[in-house]
Amino acid sequence: MTTRREREQQVVVEGRVVADFGREFLVELADRRQIVCTRKGKRQDAACGDFVEVKLTGSAQGSIIRVGTRRNLLFRSDEWKEKMLAANVDQVVILVAPKPVFSEAFLNLSLVACEAARIPVVIALNKSDLPEHAATLASLKLYQKIGYLVLSMSAKSDIAPLMPHLEGQLTLLVGQSGVGKSKTVNALVLSDVARVGELTASRETGAHTTTFSRMYRLDKDTVIIDTPGFQSFGLFHLTEDQIGEAMPEFRPFLGTCKFNDCAHRNEPGCKVIEAASRGEIKAERLSFYQVLIEQHRELHESHPDWKK
Ligand SMILES: Nc1nc2c(ncn2[C@@H]2O[C@H](COP(=O)(O)OP(=O)(O)OP(=O)(O)O)[C@@H](O)[C@H]2O)c(=O)[nH]1
Ligand SMILES: [Zn+2]
């Protein structure tokens, strides 16, 4: 005779990761029940949004034994570690704001990460109620010209412009600390019921709170994933070619430069640089790219053993 506990331990179920606490994950099962899971072994390779197989280890506990194939995965990395933000999303909303500070570098890095992961992007300028908003909106014109959708909103007073872009989609929300992500999520998630992944009080208030991605269901088909705010979007994991490919306005010129391995920095016969001198590529974007490549080379040269 096997005990109930032993029987449960044999059971493998499918679910989706709805919150990532680093060492623990909250997995939602088909019946909407949520269980706290660890990842089998020491591997930390599950992300919010992942479809997983879980071996039950108790009535509300399990161990992730398999992570399903991903449609996409957004992550950032520096020379020390990789940080997965979310997997299997339909789009990313990059939230920016005129205050505390509008960082063009952060926006550009986030755009490169999303392009490299082949995830569509919306740029949402928050805090439209502030007087500084107009100037920041003007500086976003160049991203509109590249083809990105740019919208203005205020998490404080008018969230409506964002709403139609979320409908029916699984949207990952990213942004620098202080741009208003929490306020946006609060405005969207009108009741706690919508929150996917209710947790015990100790987990809510623990050290985890600022370091996890978490899913919120706004309606049956509309879901957002909030990520912790961070200051820089490291792209250590990308190759130089991937970075070039991730600049949409470079694409028509890639492969046409005089040198096959042109990095578009100062090489003669570089069609990307020529396009920039004709104004077809914005000087700011070319210089962002060139600085990024420069930093990238320095970082990789000082960490040659990093896994490729
Ligand atoms: N004026 C104005 N202030 C806002 C708006 N949205 C957010 N804020 C303020 O900006 C500050 C930061 O907002 P949060 O929502 O905490 O920012 P966050 O992006 O979640 O920051 P982290 O928690 O560090 O990731 C708070 O003081 C908010 O009240 C807005 O639309 N207008
Ligand atoms: Zn070139």
Summarised one tens digit per residue, pLDDT across range 38-91 is: 987 767 789 999 999 999 998 889 999 999 999 999 988 876 778 889 999 999
Q: Are residues 204 and 260 in the same domain?
A: no
Looking at the CA of 254, name the nearest ligand. 2
Number of domains in the chain: 3
Indicate which residue's Cα is closest to atom 32 of ligand 1: 127
Q: Are residues 179 and 94 in the same domain?
A: yes
Q: Are residues 155 and 59 in the same domain?
A: no
Ligand 1 pocket mutation pick from 94, 154, 173, 183 by most atoms within 8 angstroms of CB = 183
Amino acid symbol at 198: E
> What does the alpha-carbon distance between residue 156 and residue 19 come to, in Å, rounded to a whole number?
26
| Least confident span in 116-120, 187-191, 241-245 | 187-191
Any ligand 1 atom below 6 A from CB of 183: yes
Which of ligand 1's atoms lies nearest the C-alpha of 155? 31
The whole-chain average pLDDT of the chain stands at 88
User: Computed from CA positions of residues 131, 132, 135, 141, in that sequence, does the dihedral angle turn out positive or negative?
Assistant: negative
Indicate which residue's Cα is closest to atom 7 of ligand 1: 180
Any ligand 1 atom below 6 A from CB of 152: no
Q: Are residues 8 and 49 in the same domain?
A: yes
pLDDT of 248 reads 97
- Residue 253 above 80 pLDDT? yes
Q: Are residues 79 and 189 in the same domain?
A: yes
Counting every residue written for the chain, the total comes to 308
Q: Are residues 207 and 251 in the same domain?
A: no
**Is 137 part of a structural domain of the chain?**
yes
Those residues with Cβ within 8 angstroms of residue 285's Cβ, 6 or more apart along the chain or in another chain: 108, 142, 146, 247, 249
Residue 128 assigned ligand-binding role: yes
Any ligand 1 atom below 6 A from CB of 129: yes
Residue 88 assigned ligand-binding role: no
ipTM score assigned to the predicted complex: 0.96
Q: Over the stretch 150-169, which tens digit does the pLDDT of each residue have?
A: 999 999 999 999 999 999 99
Q: What is the mean pLDDT of residues 228-238?
A: 82
**Is 234 part of a structural domain of the chain?**
no
Looking at the CA of 185, name the nearest ligand. 1
| Distance in Å from the first CA to the final CA of the chain | 51
Confidence band, pLDDT 50/70/90 cuts, at residue 9: low
Q: Are residues 77 and 58 in the same domain?
A: no
Q: Return residues with CB closer than 5 A to ligand 2 (ion).
A: 257, 262, 264, 270, 272
Strand partners, 173: 93, 226
The closest alpha carbon to 84, from 66, 69, 96, 72, belongs to: 72
Here the CATH number for the domain that contains residue 91 is 3.40.50.300
Contact predicate 136/102, CB 8 Å? yes
Any ligand 1 atom below 6 A from CB of 265: no
